[in-house]
Structure 1
Amino acid sequence: MSNTSNSKNDDAETIDAETRRRAVRERYASIATDDTGCCDDSLACCDDTALDDRAEQLGYTADERDSVSSGANLGLGCGNPNAIASLDTEETVLDLGSGGGFDCFLAADEVGPDGRVIGVDMTPEMVERARTNVEKNDVDNVEFRLGEIEHLPVADDSADVVISNCVINLSPDKPQVFQEAYRVLRPDGRLAISDIVMTAPLPADARNDLDSLTGCVAGATTIESLRTMLDDAGFEDIHIEPKEESDQFIREWDDSHDVSEYVVSATIEGHKPAR
């Protein structure tokens, strides 16, 4: 059996791929259409104060929070991918699973008016919300496209940077996600991803629970498996760094388990070789 197949076995494969996609789409459609902006039950009333507190835990500065109009930050991430992306002006950035667009708008400010940011999300309601946020944030270098991150609606060799925030763990085919990211990156392009990694086997009831899956827990895979997927896709200079301090917010994700015993947030980086 190939290394890639072994990597896929780390996922909650007892739940079939179509069921997983449907559950994820339904959960995030509900979040996108909730007028309160409520992202999860742990954020109390999901008011601005709670969202600001969560953003600080994830590594966003007060200036970053305040630079984006309300409605884009849904408190759904597990890190700040822009903090590791080292974006330059005039670059093209692709955000996998862009949600309400918060990270896209931050990236747009970094790449400037001559740069470009593309967000891709598989949930129509979330794409609609993000497009509304384009008008609220008065930007013209950001666009949002409907599509699955395993089949990106983006041309080959067209992005300088691929970012993502706590989304790839939701995919039933992570190797395909990284192959697609490699395809769309220009030579010498780079990944800058925040996501969840598994540090210990989850209890069976959590791994087979759809709420745990859509809550960014049951779909987590190990650092070793992620490294194999990235290497198989062709990436070099792979660097995966767990963020132990993330247990401060991860333990709030599940009322029945302290999931911080099993998963942790991490930064995931890699480069596509220059030709």
Structure 2
Amino acid sequence: MTDDTPTPTDGSRLDDAEQRTAVRERYARIATESSSCCDDTGTAQSRKLGYSDDDRDAVGAGADLGLGCGNPTAIASLDEGDTVLDLGSGAGFDCFLAAREVGPTGRVIGVDMTPEMVEKARDNRETNDVANVEFRLGEIEHLPVADESVDVILSNCVINLSADKSQVFREAFRALRPGGRLAISDVVLTTELPTDLRADPSSVAACIGGASSIPALESMLSDAGFTDVAIEPKGDSEEFIRDWSDDRDLSDYVIAATIEGEKPKTRS
């Protein structure tokens, strides 16, 4: 089942507006209530996601909220001078890590639909004194960037939150320069979700209820025009996904994965 099929009317899934509202409200609350995950527990969590202690030490407190499911900069192979776009940039942690890789001649743009998160990220930019990063308010289905203006697109456990993932990938394709690429960490379905999880606003906003299967994502990416698509599950992610709920083991339904793809250098 792909995510651009008509929304069921039998209550088995949130409609698009309900999904956007649930996501926006959750991350607005996190932005205003959370400072960072920089205690010992947060450090251990970041290591599970694939961040090094050097990564955490390089970014000031307040940017790492511990909300991801991987480390997209670790698979991005960023080069000096690259322009990078982060979809759902949150408080800016991955943007600041990317800024180190692209250097002063590079540029990093973070896009988030939650005003409170954008404000928090901009505050963190001042704290970290990073000149080559900017944060823009916008939806990842309608990116506030020009055509063919970025080299690499990052995202960390965000695309699953979208009610129209096919549109997200079409927008990503539009924004990338020919030869540009995706480097995404996200969750993918390993089996059909129970109705109570797919229809629960809290589950959708917490990166479970809106997850898609690998075949569905592969189809969306291919339809958008991407080539060399590779989606690789991370078996060790079960360890931290089990911590996402006290009520049930969510690793029975989803697993973290890396998602990569390229925009062809020339049009066919």
Alignment: residue pair count: 263
1:228 to 219, 231, 249: 219
2:80 to 85, 89, 94: 89
In structure 2, C-alpha distance between the alignment counterparts of 1:48 and 1:10, rounded to whole Å: 43
Q: Aligned partner of 2:14: which letter? A: I
In structure 2, C-alpha distance between the alignment counterparts of 1:36 and 1:139, rounded to whole Å: 19
Q: For 1:75, what is the secondary structure of its paired residue?
A: coil
The offset of 1:11, in angstroms, is 8.5
**Corresponding position of 1:59:** 50
Structure 1 residues 11 and 65: alpha-carbon distance in aligned structure 2, compared to 1, 3 A threshold:
farther
Q: Aligned partner of 1:8: which letter? A: D
Structure 1 residues 256 and 92: alpha-carbon distance in aligned structure 2, compared to 1, 3 A threshold:
same
The offset of 1:251, in angstroms, is 0.8
1:8 to 4, 10, 15: 4
Q: For 1:140, what is the secondary structure of its paired residue?
A: coil
**Corresponding position of 1:21:** 20
Question: Can you list the C-alpha shifts for 1:99-127, whole angstroms capped at 9, x where unaligned?
Answer: 00000000000000000000000000000
1:191-210 superposed matches below 5 A: 191-210=182-201
Question: Can you list the C-alpha shifts for 1:6-47, whole angstroms capped at 9, x where unaligned?
Answer: 44349997201011101100100000011544xxxxxxxx55
In structure 2, C-alpha distance between the alignment counterparts of 1:11 and 1:27, rounded to whole Å: 22
1:181 equivalenced with 2:172 (yes/no): yes
1:161 equivalenced with 2:157 (yes/no): no
Deviates more, 1:47-56 or 1:5-14: 5-14
In structure 2, C-alpha distance between the alignment counterparts of 1:10 and 1:254, rounded to whole Å: 29
In structure 1, C-alpha distance between the alignment counterparts of 2:113 and 2:7, rounded to whole Å: 20
| Consecutive unaligned residues in structure 1, runs of 5 or more | 38-45
Q: Please give the TM-score of this superposition, normalised by the length of structure 1.
A: 0.93
**Corresponding position of 1:43:** none
In structure 1, C-alpha distance between the alignment counterparts of 2:39 and 2:140, rounded to whole Å: 29
Q: Aligned partner of 1:19: which letter? A: E
Question: Can you list the C-alpha shifts for 1:66-110, whole angstroms capped at 9, x where unaligned?
Answer: 100000000000000000000000000000000000000000000
**Contact 2:189–2:255 (CA<8 Å) still a contact in 1?**
yes
In structure 1, C-alpha distance between the alignment counterparts of 2:6 and 2:262, rounded to whole Å: 24
Structure 1 residues 52 and 16: alpha-carbon distance in aligned structure 2, compared to 1, 3 A threshold:
same
Structure 1 residues 227 and 35: alpha-carbon distance in aligned structure 2, compared to 1, 3 A threshold:
closer
- The RMSD of aligned alpha carbons is 1.5
**Corresponding position of 2:93:** 102
**Contact 2:99–2:132 (CA<8 Å) still a contact in 1?**
yes
In structure 2, C-alpha distance between the alignment counterparts of 1:125 and 1:73, rounded to whole Å: 15
| Consecutive unaligned residues in structure 2, runs of 5 or more | none
In structure 2, C-alpha distance between the alignment counterparts of 1:11 and 1:206, rounded to whole Å: 15
1:207-222 superposed matches below 5 A: 207-222=198-213
Structure 1 residues 105 and 36: alpha-carbon distance in aligned structure 2, compared to 1, 3 A threshold:
closer
**Corresponding position of 1:32:** 31
Give the ranges of 4+ consecutive aligned residues of structure 1 lying more than 4 Å apart after TM superposition.
9-13
**Contact 2:166–2:224 (CA<8 Å) still a contact in 1?**
yes
In structure 1, C-alpha distance between the alignment counterparts of 2:201 and 2:101, rounded to whole Å: 36
**Contact 1:11–1:172 (CA<8 Å) still a contact in 2?**
no
**Corresponding position of 1:135:** 126
